[in-house]
Amino acid sequence: MRNKFLSQLLGSLLVMTATPGLAQAFEEINDTLYLENKLAIHLYQASELADGKRALVSAIELPEESIISIDIHNINSALSDATSSPERIRFPFIPPGKTEITKNSAGFACGFRIVDVMDEDIRSDEIMDRTDLCLSLSDLRVTGALESNGTDALKSFNEFMQEGRLHSMNSLSKYVDRLRAERIEFGVIEKAAVQTVISPIKNCGRGCLTVTSEYGMRNHPVLRRKRLHKGIDLRAATGTSVVSVLDGKVLATRTEKNRRTKRISGYGHYVIVVHPGNKLETLYAHLSGFKSKAGQSVKQGDLIALSGNTGIGTAPHLHFETHIQGKRGYVPANPRSYLGSILSSVAWIANLFKIG
């Protein structure tokens, strides 16, 4: 058994040495592909119809400039099948506005998740937590890979989009799958985190970091509707330095606007950072300005923005979210799980009872 382990480990090291683009530790490989759509697209989910048949039905029409993601293995499998076994991905589906089942000649890729959409109502919908959404491969053509993707994922997807070649994506998918299998076989436990999360507000820790609104269901203070508050609000004057809580890469710097009035709304100016090594995504909203750009690598504590009160809010503050990767994708998690040691318990109790 030991000899087998050493043999396979040596094989992995040889592959990593022979393939510089893949020579990253498994924890550092971001095997999630992030895409942004240039036009509105439909995402589908499998449903059982009244007659007992199953088909993909439209789950949502996703507005342009939304961000979606998929595991590199899932997208590689669908694109490979499109060439070698197209019948495997030509699932029966019902086109939007129709009632009859038909077949999509292009086929579907499944396993998509909505990472971000600049629409307050959609963002609060439970569909944001699904990781089984499907996209027609014909609509894949109106998406583009974000520069903040892992180097290998970005290269392999662009190679397919520009040249129709899947060699790099096949190699990356096989490499990641093999490392995953070896970890399971030999009981290697992945590191849950390589760093401890720090305060998103620069030089503001215990005794300073104050929560003004907790994570969870609440009546929105402005919209007057009950919805999930996916993060916590931290007291911060306009212009306060906001830093990355972990090493990572800026996924996007965004400004949410009302699609009818074009006025800044929702999260206002906000930044999303991905932290593959810690299996986290973090979001910082209602900013007054950006101090980073999409695709930029950041170290823990690096300045990424300035706090403010843009979008929908009642006073200057920082809205902070954490999304953790599980077996089926990323889901929102209470930031207190990461900031609990530096958040004052007195402030928490005061907020619960609305004291002060």
Which domains does the chain show, CATH number per domain?
Answer: 2-185 (no CATH), 211-352 (2.70.70.10)
Distance in angstroms between the alpha carbons of the first and the last residue of the chain: 63
Residue 147, CB-side half-sphere exposure with 13 Å CA sphere: 8
Where would I find the beta strands (DSSP E) of 89-215? 92-94, 102-103, 108-116, 133-136, 143-145, 211-213
Residues in contact with 297: Cβ distance below 8 Å, sequence separation at least 6, in sequence order: 248, 249, 250
Comparing C-alpha atoms, which of 185, 166, 188 is closest to residue 79?
166
24 has pLDDT over 80: no
198 has pLDDT over 60: yes
- Residue that has been written with the tokens 């005061």 in this structure: 350
pLDDT grade, residue 182 (50/70/90)?
confident
What is the pLDDT, as a whole number, of residue 103? Answer: 81
Higher local confidence (pLDDT), 191 or 21 = 191
Q: Is the pTM of this model over 0.75?
A: yes
Q: Which range, of 123-127, 225-229, 350-354, averages the lowest pLDDT?
A: 350-354
Q: Which phi and psi angles does 86 have, rounded to 5°?
A: -60, -25
Q: And the tokens for 166?
A: 């899947």
pLDDT grade, residue 347 (50/70/90)?
very low
Burial of residue 264 (CB within 10 Å: 0-12, 13-18, 19+) is middle
Please tell me whether residue 245 adopts helix, strand or coil conformation.
coil
Between CA 11 and CA 168 the distance in angstroms is 19
Comparing C-alpha atoms, which of 151, 256, 211 is closest to residue 352?
211
Higher local confidence (pLDDT), 29 or 51 = 51
Q: How many helices (H) and strands (E) does the chain have?
A: 7, 21
Residues in contact with 328: Cβ distance below 8 Å, sequence separation at least 6, in sequence order: 131, 132
Burial of residue 343 (CB within 10 Å: 0-12, 13-18, 19+) is buried
Cβ atoms 302, 244 nearer than 8 A = yes
The CA R_g of the chain, rounded to the nearest whole Å, is 22
Comparing C-alpha atoms, which of 39, 233, 290, 230 is closest to residue 141?
39
27 has pLDDT over 50: no
What is the pLDDT, as a whole number, of residue 23? Answer: 36
Q: And the tokens for 175?
A: 């490499």
Between CA 139 and CA 28 the distance in angstroms is 30
Q: Is the dihedral of CA 207, 208, 212, 215 positive or negative?
A: negative
Considering 76-80, 171-175, 327-331, 335-339, the range whose residues carry the highest mean pLDDT is 76-80
Q: Which range, of 41-50, 224-233, 317-326, 333-342, averages the lowest pLDDT?
A: 224-233
What is the pLDDT, as a whole number, of residue 92? Answer: 94
Q: What is the mean pLDDT of residues 221-236?
A: 78
Summarize pLDDT for 111-156 with one digit per residue, the tens: 999 999 998 888 888 899 899 999 999 999 999 999 999 889 999 9
What is the pLDDT, as a whole number, of residue 225? Answer: 63
